[in-house]
């Protein structure tokens, strides 16, 4: 874009977004002409700049994810009822370098209302992790946390003790996968052979009737 060009820029936003800021030579300035829709803000610019979106306090929730081997866990902080956060979560869950290797836990933890730039603390015995609530970077991923087992992990968030447990459908899928690996191709082949013998016997009996 040349300095003389004028173009329209769309900035992704989360639930509760109400103010768009842009960088300038004197600091951050509010963009009065920005328009807001459900998942984005639209603004017209004629020069390069950075944008930050802030908004009114909005309820947050914490989602738990546990490593399949119980090596570690993570908590995702996101806006409640936010379409933009949900789409970003889907991307993280499909990324092998993010949440794909982890299993989803339940129940989610409702955290109440937070403002942009507020601090949120996640505590475990002997460690405290602070997260800065930034609306323009949601959802937020916590640092790696300790897992008590392959089935659950415990945290304290904003003075609330919570246990994230592997969801029943996740546990069932993991058990089925383990059973499939333990059975192996030889057992599968034996099962097919047995089915063939049963069908043969039924055919022979039908011919004698």
Tens of pLDDT, residues 195-208: 344 334 444 444 44
| In a shared domain, residues 42 and 77 | no
| In a shared domain, residues 78 and 135 | yes
Q: What is the pLDDT of residue 172?
A: 52
| In a shared domain, residues 66 and 117 | yes
| Residue that is last in its domain, among 55, 75, 91 | 55
Structure tokens at 196: 């063939």
For residue 40, the enclosing domain spans 7-55
Residue 141 lies in a domain: yes
Q: What is the pLDDT of residue 169?
A: 65
Q: Give the residue ranges of the chain where pLDDT is below 50.
A: 1-3, 174-183, 185-209
| In a shared domain, residues 79 and 106 | yes
CB-neighbour burial class of residue 93 (10 A; exposed 0-12, middle 13-18, buried 19+): middle
CB 15 within 8 A of CB 81: yes
Number of domains observed in the structure of the chain: 2
Q: What is the 3-state secondary structure (H, E, C) of 88-130?
A: HHHHHHHCCCCCCCEEEEECCEEEEEECCCCEEEEEECCEEEE
| In a shared domain, residues 87 and 110 | yes
CA–CA distance, 164 with 122 (Å, rounded to integer)? 13
Find, among 102, 208, 81, the residue nearest to 150 by Cα: 102
| In a shared domain, residues 102 and 164 | yes
Look up the pTM and report it. Answer: 0.68
| In a shared domain, residues 20 and 123 | no
| In a shared domain, residues 43 and 85 | no
CATH, residue 73: 2.60.40
Residue 199 lies in a domain: no
**DSSP characters for 123-163?**
EETTEEEEEE--GGGPSEEPPPB--SSSSEEEEEETTEEEE
Residue 181 lies in a domain: no
Structure tokens at 45: 């610019």
| In a shared domain, residues 128 and 155 | yes
| In a shared domain, residues 51 and 69 | no
| In a shared domain, residues 37 and 89 | no
| In a shared domain, residues 50 and 63 | no
Residue 180 lies in a domain: no
């Amino acid at each position: 874009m040349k300095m003389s060009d004028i173009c329209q820029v769309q900035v992704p936003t989360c639930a509760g977004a109400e103010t768009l800021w842009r960088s300038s030579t004197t600091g951050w300035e509010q963009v009065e002409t920005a328009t807001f829709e459900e998942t984005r803000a639209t603004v017209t610019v004629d020069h390069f700049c950075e944008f930050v979106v802030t908004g009114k306090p909005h309820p947050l929730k914490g989602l738990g994810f546990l490593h399949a081997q119980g090596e570690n866990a993570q908590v995702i902080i996101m806006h409640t009822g936010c379409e933009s956060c949900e789409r970003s979560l889907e991307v993280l869950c499909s990324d092998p370098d993010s949440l794909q290797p982890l299993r989803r836990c339940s129940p989610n933890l409702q955290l109440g209302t937070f403002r942009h730039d507020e601090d949120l603390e996640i505590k475990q015995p002997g460690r405290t992790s602070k997260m800065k609530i930034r609306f323009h970077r949601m959802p937020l991923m916590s640092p790696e946390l300790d897992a008590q087992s392959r089935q659950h992990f415990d945290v304290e968030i904003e003075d609330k003790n919570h246990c994230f447990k592997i969801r029943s459908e996740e546990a069932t899928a993991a058990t089925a996968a383990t059973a499939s690996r333990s059975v192996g191709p030889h057992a599968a082949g034996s099962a097919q052979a047995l089915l063939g013998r049963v069908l043969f016997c039924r055919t022979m009996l039908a011919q004698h009737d």
